Each structure stands twice: as structure tokens, then as C-alpha cells.
């Protein structure tokens, strides 16, 4: 089960590969690299609309680009939240003015975004958000007060799309709005990086103390935030899952080579785990291709569900989250005692240094939590896909 790549797709692959090889010299800064991608028109390939500085590409060519990007070893993207989450949401729900204002800077790699959803008391239970947005009677602008947490790349972002409560006294899914908030508001927006086990700080706490969002920067209309927020989550897992799996395959290859070098591959239990991981990764790829192949088209709200139905994104998250975590555990197991020792090549970049296997083991501990915990994904599958009775809810 796979996409059939035709001659034109292979020509597109050669173009993408040549472009990446030509420009991947040295170590480009993250913002510089986003602008370089924008100049090449490589941002926004899957958007339903063009004319914002992006190329248009069908689903097959999006897969080609994702594969080539992953194989090239190109830097991790800083702009993927704006490109893959906010932009399709604006195309589906935004006003013409919002599209003209925000899509070109995303396509050109000039403005970076972060996602203001989770809060200390509302992580997987997103409907419990308590951040408020009070509308001024004179200007119509919103003043936002509250805290968001686990906000990826907030320390680099220019803007944040924030789910906030605009109707006083409202609860759960009601009275929420989807607001576009500039991060450059000294004294009103504070970002505090969260240091992780790996020593890095991709996640952040964000505090809003009267931060201002314009009246025209509400997506989908006031009070419709839950519908817009859920639509955005439908875009979260699409073609990018294939690129993720290519990265997984490279990590699995490194673990396999280490197992051979250390002799751990001689252990039949280790061999069994390696084979099982390889087979599961192939299954995940086939499932992703099946889901994408049955979608309504690139950039459409149904893209994440596709032929797999409403629970398909949750099934995919369960599969890869647990798989990656087991890979991290095996990566240190095949190293033996050496896995407890830091690398000889050290730098002052981090408070402590980790090699690739150690980083994989520690970072993947969170894979079954972020992006919706395994427990939440199982509930979604049970209730929405299988139609089982809803889990009893306690009183708030």
C-alpha cells in the first residue's frame, strides 16, 4: 500500500532534493532558514488557496517534499505551527482581511506562531480553560488575562493563537473565542522557558497580564472558539506524519547499528524487539498513507481523519507515541553501561551533554503525554469512533 509516484512527481523530487542540497550548507539560523524556505515557495504546499507566496502541490507532491526534507537532515522547523495549524484554520474560518494579513508572512517565513491552548488546570481537558478575554466597550479590543503552559516555541514566536473565555460565567465548551495575540507586548506577555530532562527548553509558560488582541483578530466570531479550536486540531496530523516516520526510521537504524556493534543483537529478545519495532513502523506508514489517501484533499478539515474515520488521528497518536517511547528504551538498553556516561565531545551549549540515544530516551518519555495523553486518545476512540457509552463525568 503506497502512493504511486509518476514521472512528474519524480521530477518534483529531484527539484526539491537539489534545492535542499544547494542551500543546506553550514548551520543556518532557524529564522534565516524559515525565510529561505519562504523565498523558495516551499511553505504552504498543502494550503487550499495560493496567491500568498506559497506554491500549490497535490497530496503526492506534499509527501515527496516531506520525505526529501526529512532525508536531507534539514533543521527542525520553527514555522510549522503557523504553516500547518493556523494557516489551514484561517483558510477555513478566517475573514478575507485576516487571510491577507497573516498568510503572506507565514508563507514568507517572516512571522512565527505558537499555540495558546493548554493551561495548568486544563491540559488534555481543553474545555476547562480559564484564561479570560474582556472586550473594551470603546475600542472593541480584548484584554487577555491568564496563563498557558507547555507552549512550544513561544520564546521564538511573534504571535500566539489563544483559546480564551470571552463570556463571563461560561463553562466548558461554551463562551470561548479564538484570538490572535501579538507576543511583543512588554509587561503584558511574559514567556518563561521550562527546562526539560534533556537540558533544553522547547516548551514554555506564557503569562498574559492584560495583553491586547484587536477586535478584528477573532477567528470564526466571538463565542465560536471551541469549533475553531477543534477544526485546528484536525489539521495537526497530516502529511507531516510521514516525515516524522522517516526520522523514526533513521533513529531505528542507529539503534540497530549500535546493537550490532555492542553485541546486543545476539540476544534473541533484543532481536525480537528490533524486528517488532521495524514491523510496527511499516504499519504506521501504511496507516498514514491509507488515511491521507482517503482524505478530502490537502488543507481540508477532513484531511486528518480521511478514510480512517473520526478516531484515525487518535489511533495514529497512540501508535507513534508508544512506539517512539519503546524505541528510546531500547536505544539505551543496547548501549549497556555506556548509556549512563555522557559523550566525550562536550560543549558549553547545555548544562549537561547527552548523546543521541540518551536524548531519545529522555525526550520520548513525554511522547505519550503531549499532544493529548494516551488516556484522552483512548476515550476519543471509544466514544466518537466506536460509539461506546460516554465515560461518567464527575461534577466540576
| Res 343 pLDDT > 90 | no
**pLDDT at residue number 264:** 95
Q: Which CATH architecture has domain 7-107?
A: Orthogonal Bundle (1.10)
Average pLDDT of the segment spanning 288-303? 53
Mean of all residue pLDDT scores within the chain: 86
Task: Kindly list the domain boundaries of the chain, sorted by start residue.
Answer: 7-107, 113-223, 237-385
Quick one: pLDDT at residue 313? 75
| pLDDT of res. 362 | 92
Largest CA distance in the chain: 74
- pTM, 2 dp: 0.83
Mean pLDDT of all residues in 198-206: 88
Catalytic residue chosen out of the listed positions 83, 119, 156, 236: 236
Q: Are 132 and 169 in contact (CB under 8 A)?
A: no
Please identify, in words, the CATH class of the domain defined by 237-385. mainly alpha
- The percent of residues in the chain predicted with pLDDT above 90, rounded, is 50
What is the band of 299 on the pLDDT scale with cuts at 50, 70, 90? very low
Is the confidence at residue 348, as pLDDT, over 60? Answer: no
Burial grade of 24 (CB within 10 A; 0-12, 13-18, 19 or more): middle
CATH number for the segment(s) 113-223: 2.40.110.10
pLDDT in tens, 57-93: 888 898 889 889 888 888 888 999 999 899 999 999 9
> Looking at residues 234-240, what average pLDDT do you find?
65
- Please say if the pLDDT value at position 351 is more than 60: no
Range scoring the smallest mean pLDDT among 155-159, 345-349, 367-371, 379-383 = 345-349
49 is catalytic: no
Any idea which of 135-144, 150-159, 167-176, 297-306 has the lowest mean pLDDT? Answer: 297-306
Hey, which residues does 219 pair with through a beta bridge? 178
- Tens of pLDDT, residue by residue over 97-130, are 999 999 999 999 999 999 999 999 877 778 889 9
| Ranges 6-15, 68-77, 102-111, 329-338: which has the least confidence | 68-77
Q: Find out whether 252 and 278 touch, Cβ atoms under 8 Å.
A: yes
Q: How large a percentage of the chain has pLDDT more than 70?
A: 89
Amino acid at each position: 500500500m503506497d502512493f504511486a509516484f509518476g514521472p512528474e512527481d519524480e521530477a518534483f523530487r529531484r527539484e526539491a532534493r537539489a534545492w535542499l542540497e544547494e542551500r543546506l550548507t553550514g548551520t543556518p539560523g532557524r529564522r534565516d532558514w524559515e525565510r529561505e524556505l519562504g523565498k523558495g515557495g516551499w511553505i504552504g504546499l498543502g494550503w487550499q488557496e495560493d496567491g500568498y507566496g506559497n506554491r500549490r502541490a497535490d497530496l503526492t507532491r506534499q509527501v515527496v517534499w516531506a520525505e526529501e526534507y526529512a532525508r536531507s537532515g534539514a533543521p527542525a522547523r520553527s514555522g510549522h505551527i503557523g504553516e500547518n495549524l493556523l494557516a489551514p484554520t484561517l483558510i477555513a474560518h478566517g475573514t478575507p482581511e485576516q487571510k491577507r494579513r497573516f498568510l503572506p508572512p507565514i508563507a514568507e517565513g517572516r512571522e512565527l506562531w505558537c499555540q495558546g491552548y493548554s493551561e495548568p488546570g486544563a491540559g488534555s481537558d481543553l474545555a476547562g480553560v480559564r484564561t479570560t478575554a474582556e472586550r473594551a466597550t470603546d475600542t472593541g479590543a480584548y484584554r487577555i488575562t491568564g496563563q498557558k503552559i507547555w507552549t512550544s516555541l513561544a520564546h521564538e514566536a511573534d504571535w500566539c493563537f489563544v483559546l480564551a473565555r470571552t463570556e463571563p460565567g461560561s463553562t466548558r465548551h461554551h463562551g470561548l473565542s479564538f484570538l490572535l495575540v501579538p507576543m511583543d507586548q512588554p509587561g503584558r506577555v511574559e514567556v518563561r522557558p521550562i527546562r526539560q530532562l534533556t537540558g533544553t527548553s522547547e516548551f514554555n509558560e506564557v503569562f498574559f497580564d492584560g495583553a491586547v488582541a484587536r477586535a478584528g483578530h477573532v477567528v470564526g466570531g466571538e463565542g465560536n472558539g471551541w469549533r475553531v479550536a477543534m477544526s485546528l486540531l484536525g489539521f495537526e496530523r497530516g502529511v507531516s506524519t510521514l516525515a516524522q516516520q522517516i526520522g523514526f526510521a533513521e533513529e531505528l537504524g542507529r539503534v540497530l547499528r549500535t546493537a550490532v556493534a555492542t553485541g546486543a543483537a545476539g540476544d534473541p529478545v533484543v532481536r525480537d524487539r528490533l524486528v517488532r519495532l521495524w514491523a510496527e513502523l511499516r504499519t504506521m506508514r501504511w496507516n498514514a498513507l491509507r488515511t491521507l489517501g482517503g482524505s478530502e484533499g490537502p488543507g481540508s478539515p477532513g484531511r486528518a481523519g480521511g478514510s480512517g474515520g473520526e478516531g484515525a488521528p487518535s489511533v495514529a497518536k497512540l501508535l507513534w507515541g508508544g512506539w517512539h517511547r519503546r524505541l528510546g528504551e531500547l536505544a539505551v538498553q543496547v548501549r549497556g553501561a555506556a548509556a549512563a556516561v555522557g559523550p566525550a565531545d562536550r560543549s558549553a551549549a547545555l548544562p549537561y551533554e547527552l548523546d543521541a540515544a540518551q536524548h531519545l530516551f529522555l525526550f520520548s518519555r513525554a511522547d505519550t503525554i503531549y499532544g493529548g495523553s494516551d488516556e484522552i486518545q483512548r476515550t476519543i476512540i471509544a466514544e466518537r469512533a466506536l460509539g461506546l457509552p460516554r465515560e461518567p463525568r464527575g461534577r466540576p
